[in-house]
Structure 1
Amino acid sequence: MPTNASAQSRPAHPPISGDAILQVGPVNPAVAQSLSRKFGALELPDAGPAREALLEARGAQIRVAVCSGRVGVDTELMLRLPRLEAIINFGVGYDATDIELARERGIAVSNTPDVLTNCVADTALGLYLNTLRSLPAAERFVRDGSWTSGQNFRLTKRASGTRVGILGLGRIGQAIAVRLQAFGCEIHYHNRSEKQGAGYTYHSSAVSLAAATDVLMIAAAGGPHSAGLVDREVIEAVGPQGFIINIARGSVIDETALLEALRSGAVAGAGLDVFANEPHLPPGLLELENVVLLPHVGSGTIETRRDMAALTLENLRSYLTDRTLLTPIF
């Protein structure tokens, strides 16, 4: 029988070695380099025989998965990892991971909030200005020689003093609101619950929010609870003089209904940084002049990606040390 001293000398948690850590999908280069060189982690191959072989040989020993918000740990993969304890997520979004199954199994999940809030809000403001003022189209107008030929560029929508409805008043939604207030905008919002002390006009539904404002700014978190939240009814409520900006997740909006509305003039225009099937866009979207398209660059700055990488690795180190996460989702 061990003495008290020998019992106390044992580590409080069984150590996790590199071959029990799995990189799932492509991640930030700095994170990938650290996983390989400093932690000795395994890398899950793409679908095919090599992936199947790794899961057959090593799946039962994997205890920590590191992934990006775009890839995540889905239901199928989670079931192949019976000893999984933690999912370390690079990104604020985690809708690609089966969160409910993780919760049921007691798997800890982290993300990288706060460090990307300002850059995503900056992108939202840029997309807002570019969409309402048609700045990308105006630049093309100069480049293709239309201006020098004597033509005048069409008039656009004033960006200051508008009524903006923010769908999802979380960290990013609030940062967007602050920026838009500097433009003299009137801020309305819809959330799953009213935020006491927010100081903005609350609406009990997305439809009511869309009908009451000039611009619908989508900043809701992704996942099953928000999938299709901006449906055909909400899009119709935006109206032919209104605009839609989406910097949240492509899954939040009915892309088919949006495409039809943009084509028919049921909405004036849209600015989109995210899509349901990235990097593939809905057929026909590229042909439209009343939409501004970005390649999911909301947090895409050198500084923010550096901070996200650092927080991802800090979460991993913390979990390996004492089984805690610095920024747990639950």
Structure 2
Amino acid sequence: MFEGDESHDGELPGEDDYESLLPAASFVTHMVAGAVAGILEHTVMYPVDSVKTRMQSLQPDPKAQYRSVYDALRRMVQTEGPLRPLRGLNVTVLGAGPAHALYFACYERLKTRLSDVIQRGGNSHIANGVAGGVATVLHDAVMNPAEVVKQRMQVYNSPYRGLWDCVWRVWSAEGPAAFYRSYGTQLLMNVPFQAVHFVTYELVQERLNPRRRYRPASHILAGAAAGAISAGVTTPLDVCKTLLNTQEGAALGRTRRGKGGGGHLTGMVDSARTVYRLGGPPAFFKGLWARVIYQTPSTAVAWSVYEFFKYSLTGQRLEGGDRVGPNSFYAADWRGKR
């Protein structure tokens, strides 16, 4: 009925049902979809994330020097066992669910509110970027402790027997502040990361899927582009974050900050100075391709799963068999006419 109709002067069929569904289900829907998407995003490519952490490491041991992502995976499996690339996956799942539930729910709600103010309900790239940045603050507050534990378990020659052993030993030796030592750096990295991420995703969606229908191919391609670009431009900050999270004894020892040598790295400037001292400018791009290879399919998976669940949980049948969700072209157009 609506195919090819550009005016949309009438109301949507089933408008009363759609209006009653949206306020009650929207926030919960975004949280559920976001939690599922976040868990899958972090688990599908987790072995490559382990490789990225290893390749960003400033570990001087020749056994921890890798030529490529494939070389790192092969050697990890051959010398440390087939499950080694999955070490730390359990804490990642525990953190990713609630972190991404808050992340997507906050993004969707804030994006809509800001777009209404900035562009009267249209799609605003400024709103997308600001909403992504604010959502990141909530996401990282939940995810940062999990990242600390995960990366300490991923590094070469990790001394921890498991999740709770790592949590207990870090807490006992460095105090609870250790789980948020990299929070400032994480935000400094993730706010621009997510701003670029969301702007890129929405920009590609405008080109491939201007009506904002449920189109899996467009969500996958837009997500992949967003992940690749945002991962590439923020790699130097990710290297600094990894060093802050892991507090690698070998690296700190080489800068006389290990036992009896000045304690732990404490912030972004301290970490960046250490990275530069140990490896020069190239060290800030260690693990670049591993990070891009990890983020590209992971972000594609996250967006495609998120959009699928959002569509499945809130989609409504229109006359003629069309189906629409709360962020589709028709729904946005209808909201503007209320």
TM-score w.r.t. length of structure 1: 0.32
| TM-score for both structures, normalised by structure 2 | 0.31
Q: Which has the larger radius of gyration?
A: 1
Q: Which has the higher strand share?
A: 1
Write 1 or 2 for the structure with the bigger share of helix: 2
